[in-house]
Amino acid sequence: MNITILGIESSCDDTSAAVIRNGYMLSNIIASQEIHRKYGGVVPELASRAHQQNIIPVVDTALRQAGIEKDMVDAVAFTRGPGLLGSLLVGTSFAKGFALSTGAKLIEVNHLHAHILSNFIQEEGKEKRLPRFPFLCLLVSGGHTQIVVLRDYFNMEIIGQTIDDAAGEAFDKCAKVMGLPYPGGPVVDRYAKEGDSRAFRFSKPGIPGLDYSFSGLKTSFLYTLRDRLKEDPQFVEKNIPGLCASLQQTIVDILTDKLMKASVATGITEAVIAGGVAANSGLRNAMTALADEKGWTVHLPEFRFTTDNAAMIGITGYFKYLEGMFTTQDVAPVARFDDRCNIRL
């Protein structure tokens, strides 16, 4: 029997719809909102308005590309949170309406859970080795930086997380200081390829355990620029590649250092990365190096599954469907789940 899931993602500034059948992706349509670029960050009101404009054409295209009629959808899975409330409301309301009119089941998905399970998306003709439990996930996005132990699809524990900024935020904020466009992460990644990662040194946090901190790095970056600009007003323009390469290397070192500690603490040597920063070439190279040097089994997600997309919502919805984890029409979106406790599924 076929199980067909329509996934809907609208937590931030990407409107996305995807069709997953029996764990395989049939379509994954993403409408990114360019409007935020000129404001240097996501403007919540503009995001929810753009979601309203995009959602119907995006879903329509996803169904058509998958060759699926509306009444063939067994369940509609949507992002319930965390995210921007106004944005989440659009996807949630759409999903409820779709379920009501077609008789499809309704499945709520935690956005972070979906980022992690994106590593399980399969595609016809592209067979790949799927992660095996238990494994560690380094979840790195614009809003989160966490080390999660996965013992099962629904049994996960956050064993380390940032106490201040997220890794993506560190990329974006430092990029902004250099006058680079938003979001800064991919731009820093591009420039870093041309620069020397040892050109500059920035401070690394000294906090114990498996938690992260990136606010000190941001300050250290800011102070370096401030001091060097006093000597040479063109300092930033002249040193963008070196600054980007050194910044990226520092962030990657901080991330992998705690991941290695997590491996020692848990005895787990299989790892995945997920979230927007999982697209970073420096982090991907560092993970490959861990696999080579330490004999870890490492899974790197495809680029299109690292940033926000509905295929990851669909695959999470598929696993929840198999367990009968459905939700009802009175479900409401949530901007935040309780941080310290385990991911609410």
**Piece in contact with Zn ion (CB under 5 A), picked from 48-56, 141-149, 165-173, 287-295:** 141-149
Among 95, 104, 247, 277, binds ligand KG4 (CB under 6 A): 277
Taking CB under 5 A as the rule, does residue 145 contact Zn ion?
A: no
**Piece in contact with ligand KG4 (CB under 6 A), picked from 21-29, 31-39, 234-242, 270-278:** 270-278
CB nearer to ligand KG4: pick between 17 and 99: 17
Distance CA 165, CA 142 (A): 9
What is the nearest approach in angstroms of Zn ion to the Cβ of residue 82?
A: 9
CB nearer to ligand KG4: pick between 7 and 185: 185
CB nearer to ligand KG4: pick between 171 and 319: 171
Taking CB under 6 A as the rule, does residue 40 contact ligand KG4?
A: no
Give the 3-state secondary structure of residue 314: helix
Write phi, then psi, for 146 (nearest 5 degrees).
Answer: -140, 150
**Piece in contact with Zn ion (CB under 5 A), picked from 35-43, 49-57, 136-144, 318-326:** 136-144
Q: Is 23 left (phi over 0), alpha (psi -120 to 50) or beta?
A: left
CB nearer to Zn ion: pick between 169 and 308: 308
Residues 128-167 that bind ligand KG4 (CB under 6 A): 141-143
CB nearer to ligand KG4: pick between 185 and 317: 185
Distance CA 186, CA 170 (A): 12
Spell out where the chain has E strands.
4-9, 14-21, 24-32, 75-81, 105-110, 135-140, 145-152, 155-161, 270-274, 297-299
Per DSSP, 212 falls in state B
Q: Which does 216 bind (CB under 5 to 8 A by kind): Zn ion, ligand KG4, none?
A: none
Taking CB under 5 A as the rule, does residue 74 contact Zn ion?
A: no
Tally the C-alpha atoms within 13 A of residue 19's C-alpha that lie toward its C-beta: 22
195: which 2 tokens? Answer: 């620069």
Among 141, 146, 239, 263, binds Zn ion (CB under 5 A): 141
Cα-based angle 48, 49, 50 (whole degrees, multiple of 5) = 90
Distance CA 86, CA 49 (A): 9
Distance CA 26, CA 122 (A): 9
Q: Which does 186 bind (CB under 5 to 8 A by kind): Zn ion, ligand KG4, none?
A: ligand KG4
Taking CB under 5 A as the rule, does residue 118 contact Zn ion?
A: no
Is the CB of residue 20 less than 8 Å from the CB of residue 311? yes
Taking CB under 5 A as the rule, does residue 172 contact Zn ion?
A: no
Inter-CA distances, 25 with 78, 192, 249, 339, Å: 16, 33, 34, 30
Q: Which does 143 bind (CB under 5 to 8 A by kind): Zn ion, ligand KG4, none?
A: ligand KG4
**Piece in contact with ligand KG4 (CB under 6 A), picked from 43-51, 130-138, 183-191, 323-331:** 183-191
Q: How many residues bind Zn ion (CB under 5 A)?
A: 2
The DSSP-derived string for 120-167 is: G-B-TT---PPP-SSEEEEEE-SS-EEEEEEEETTEEEEEEEBSS--H
Q: Which does 280 bind (CB under 5 to 8 A by kind): ligand KG4, Zn ion, none?
A: ligand KG4
Q: Which does 172 bind (CB under 5 to 8 A by kind): ligand KG4, Zn ion, none?
A: ligand KG4
Catalog residues that contact Zn ion under the rule CB under 5 A: 141, 308
Catalog residues that contact ligand KG4 under the rule CB under 6 A: 12, 141-143, 168, 171-172, 183-186, 189, 275-277, 279-280, 307-308
